[in-house]
């Protein structure tokens, strides 16, 4: 892991719970990841990859990545690999080094023990493998058009989870295996674990805030047990689950809490993740342990892969072999010099919650005497925590009110200077709206109620439909044509005046109705216009996309998309008296016609 404060990559031995190696890598970007191969380690940032020798622990090279995004890292045989999902690029840092284009955006990758990296193209649905030492992808299968899904590994076999049809299928050179039903409805946003645990797949359902353990026995044509459902905190945001042979680990990103469960869904541990900055990172090690890096690299939580117990390993900057005061960046107090009050805490930050704020800070310089406590104060209140605590949640705040929170360190001599957060506004996100989707004449009408806004002001609703760009809607309805899957609606609110930060509410969702039977078409009128005959029809695709065409004798109009009342024009025709006109509607479910006989109405 990389520690921002000490500009170093540290190696943690999971079996002993100790830091046993350190490589100085100055200048790496904040939040860089560390990944290791057989002979080298790599500190991976958005704009630079620093390479250091595992034998000398010194930097030997720097490389420029193919994209300025944080990649997904995979430590597998023949690797390690960096997968740039948005850019569609795969970088092999091992031997032979290579950059392999995937041709389009990717979902989260996975890998099997032979060193093959498996990838899912989200734009085309292609399921592809990059074998060890290969320089191009081989695509073996493809998800059904319009379906969404994720890749995982079950019994060292790549498996795709189709979240549209709610099925599992193996992926191999022969294509997709026979689909096995999951037994529960998964949203397109489902987050699937990297591998199975005790014969089940761990899936986080962010729409309903729950952890699902899905039986994989259907892949082997055995009876499938009902999924295990574990309720997660309703106001939380959660990481993708990571698993070992018997443990599932999930981070509640709202509270920065690591939660572990066994293969049956029983809770094992709940641990606060120390450190400041962004979101912690989870990774499964080759030793069947899960490692959770704090955002700033100040701690590593080591999860035992059998029991689910958690050990907290602090990274204090000391040399693993010969600890010295200089290694920590601190200046030792010379003998005979009296202690003084501590310095100001560093990197003080606050993140808003519901009637609360989570405050983090870096340790204050002790100045010759151990820091015994930290004091936090704000308008209307104060609290005190121990001198080893660098994170706490202040509660009892008023949503929508701006607060500045000051942190002061104290030792046996007295209190030092304070350091303050920026302005933070507590807020509660809106509840999930109740969503309905109705189909009529090929058009899907989505409606929803106004949910509890949590005391905030509604900015707009964010509506998401599969295969469509997100919509910002201020009313409580919108319409689509030609969609499938699930429609999701969230209320976006703000606390404070216009321009204040916005908060996304919980998601409400509804399934798009499946088309019911063949289409219908009815000719409403036939009129004589300057360009020929205008045929007005009422078209109903019964939920499917439809095209319509009108004909008179052997002359036909253009075939156009139709839904509801639609005009069709037959050009370059001449007629006398009563005539016969036919209209045809066509969908994937079939076609229907209607015939009209009479004298066209003349339009002046």
pLDDT of 324 reads 37
CATH number of 343-420: 2.60.40.10
pLDDT of 250 reads 93
Cβ neighbours of residue 100 under 8 Å, at least 6 residues apart? 89, 90, 91, 92, 130, 134, 135, 136, 137
pLDDT of 534 reads 94
Contact 255, 274 (CB under 8 A): no
CATH number of 520-602: 2.60.40
Q: Does domain 435-511 have CATH number 2.130.10.10?
A: no
Asked whether the predicted pLDDT for residue 447 surpasses 90, the reply is yes
pLDDT in tens, 192-249: 998 888 889 999 998 899 999 999 988 888 888 889 999 998 888 898 899 988 899 9
Give the residue from 215, 287, 199, 301 showing the smallest Cα distance to 250: 301
Cα–Cα distances in angstroms (integers) from residue 302 to residues 262, 269, 299, 307, in the given order:
16, 12, 10, 12
Percent of the chain residues topping a pLDDT of 90: 35
Cβ neighbours of residue 234 under 8 Å, at least 6 residues apart? 209, 506
pLDDT of 18 reads 81
- Classify burial at 603, counting beta carbons within 10 Å of its beta carbon; exposed 0-12, middle 13-18, buried 19 or more: exposed
pLDDT of 268 reads 92
| Range of weakest confidence among 14-18, 263-267, 474-478, 491-495 | 14-18
pLDDT in tens, 137-180: 888 888 888 888 899 998 889 999 998 999 999 998 888 888 98
pLDDT of 514 reads 77
Asked whether the predicted pLDDT for residue 441 surpasses 80, the reply is no
Contact 78, 43 (CB under 8 A): no
Question: What CA–CA distance (Å, rounded) separates 208 from 97?
Answer: 42
Structure tokens at 268: 């094992």
Structure tokens at 113: 């023990």
Structure tokens at 433: 């709206």
Contact 231, 209 (CB under 8 A): yes
Q: How large is the average pLDDT for residues 391-405? A: 89
Cα–Cα distances in angstroms (integers) from residue 446 to residues 49, 474, 493, 512, in the given order:
47, 13, 20, 9
pLDDT in tens, 320-368: 543 333 333 334 444 456 788 998 888 888 888 888 999 998 888 888 8
Q: Is the dihedral of CA 378, 384, 385, 386 positive or negative?
A: positive
User: What is the location of CATH 2.60.40.10 in the chain?
Assistant: 343-420, 435-511
Q: What are the phi and psi torsion angles at 348 (to 5°)?
A: -75, 130
Q: How large is the average pLDDT for residues 116-135? A: 89
Cβ neighbours of residue 230 under 8 Å, at least 6 residues apart? 210, 211, 212, 213, 261, 265, 267
Q: How large is the average pLDDT for residues 254-274? A: 89
Cβ neighbours of residue 310 under 8 Å, at least 6 residues apart? 258, 260, 269, 271, 301, 302, 303, 304
pLDDT in tens, 20-75: 788 888 778 877 889 888 778 899 988 888 888 877 777 888 888 888 888 999 88
Q: What is the DSSP string of 561-602?
A: E--EEEEEEEES----SSEEEEEEEEETTEEEEEEEEEPPEE
The segment with the largest mean pLDDT, out of 37-51, 247-261, 278-292, 507-521, is 247-261
Asked whether the predicted pLDDT for residue 310 surpasses 70, the reply is yes
pTM of structure: 0.54
pLDDT of 487 reads 93
Contact 311, 383 (CB under 8 A): no
Does residue 3 or residue 526 have the better pLDDT? Answer: 526
What's the mean pLDDT when you consider all of the chain? 86
pLDDT of 488 reads 94
Q: How large is the average pLDDT for residues 487-514? A: 86
Percent of the chain residues topping a pLDDT of 70: 95
pLDDT of 230 reads 93
């Amino acid at each position: 892991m990389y520690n921002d404060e000490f500009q170093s990559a540290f190696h943690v031995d999971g079996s002993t719970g100790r830091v046993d190696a350190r490589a100085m890598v100055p200048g790496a970007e904040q939040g860089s990841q560390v990944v290791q191969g057989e002979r080298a380690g790599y500190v991976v940032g958005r704009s630079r990859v620093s390479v250091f020798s595992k034998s000398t622990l010194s930097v030997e090279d720097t490389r420029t990545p193919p994209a300025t995004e944080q990649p997904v890292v995979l430590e597998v045989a023949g690797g390690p690999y960096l997968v740039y999902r948005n850019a569609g690029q795969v970088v092999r840092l091992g031997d032979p080094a290579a950059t392999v284009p995937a041709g389009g955006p990717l979902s989260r990758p996975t890998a099997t023990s032979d060193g093959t990296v498996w990838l899912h193209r989200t734009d085309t649905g292609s399921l592809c493998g990059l074998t060890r030492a290969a320089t191009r992808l081989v695509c073996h299968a493809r998800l059904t058009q319009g379906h969404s899904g994720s890749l995982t590994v079950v019994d060292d076999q790549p498996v795709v989870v189709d979240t549209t049809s709610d099925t599992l299928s193996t992926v191999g050179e022969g294509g997709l295996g026979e689909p096995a039903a999951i037994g529960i409805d998964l949203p397109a946003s489902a987050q699937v674990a990297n591998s199975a645990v005790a014969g089940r797949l761990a899936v986080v359902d962010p729409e309903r805030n729950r952890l699902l353990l899905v039986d994989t026995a259907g892949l082997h044509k055995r009876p499938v047990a009902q999924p295990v459902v574990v309720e997660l905190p309703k106001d939380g945001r959660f990481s993708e689950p990571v698993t070992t042979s018997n443990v599932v680990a999930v981070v509640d990103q709202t509270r920065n809490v690591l939660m572990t469960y066994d293969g049956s869904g029983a809770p094992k541990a709940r641990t606060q993740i120390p450190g400041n900055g962004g979101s912690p990172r989870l990774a499964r090690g080759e030793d069947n342990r899960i490692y959770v890096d704090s955002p700033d690299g100040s701690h590593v939580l080591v999860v035992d892969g059998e029991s689910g117990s958690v050990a907290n390993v602090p990274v204090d900057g000391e040399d693993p072999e010969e600890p010295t005061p200089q290694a920590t960046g601190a200046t030792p107090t010379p003998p005979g010099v009296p202690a003084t009050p501590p310095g100001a805490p560093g990197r003080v930050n606050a993140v808003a919650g519901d009637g609360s704020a989570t405050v983090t800070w870096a340790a204050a310089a002790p100045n010759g005497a151990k820091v015994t406590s930290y004091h936090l104060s704000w308008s209307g209140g104060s609290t005190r925590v121990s001198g080893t605590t660098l994170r706490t949640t202040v509660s009892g705040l008023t949503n929508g009110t701006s607060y500045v929170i000051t942190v002061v360190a104290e030792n046996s001599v007295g209190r030092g200077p304070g350091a303050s957060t920026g302005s933070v506004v507590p807020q509660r996100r809106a509840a999930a709206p109740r969503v309905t989707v109705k189909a009529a004449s090929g058009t899907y009408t989505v409606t929803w109620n106004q949910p509890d806004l949590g005391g905030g002001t509604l900015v707009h609703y964010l509506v998401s439909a599969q295969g469509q760009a997100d919509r910002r809607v201020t009313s409580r309805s919108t319409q689509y044509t030609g969609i499938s899957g699930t429609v999701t609606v969230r209320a976006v609110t703000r606390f404070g005046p216009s321009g204040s930060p916005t908060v996304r509410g919980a998601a409400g969702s509804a399934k798009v109705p499946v088309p019911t039977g063949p289409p219908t078409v009815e000719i409403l009128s036939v009129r004589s216009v300057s360009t020929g005959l205008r045929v007005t029809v009422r078209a109903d695709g019964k939920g499917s996309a439809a095209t319509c065409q009108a004909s008179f004798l052997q002359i036909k109009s253009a075939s156009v998309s139709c839904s509801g009342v639609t005009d069709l024009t037959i050009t370059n025709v001449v007629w006398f008296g009563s005539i016969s006109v036919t209209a045809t509607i066509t969908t994937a479910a079939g076609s229907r016609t209607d015939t009209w006989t009479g004298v066209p109405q003349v339009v002046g």
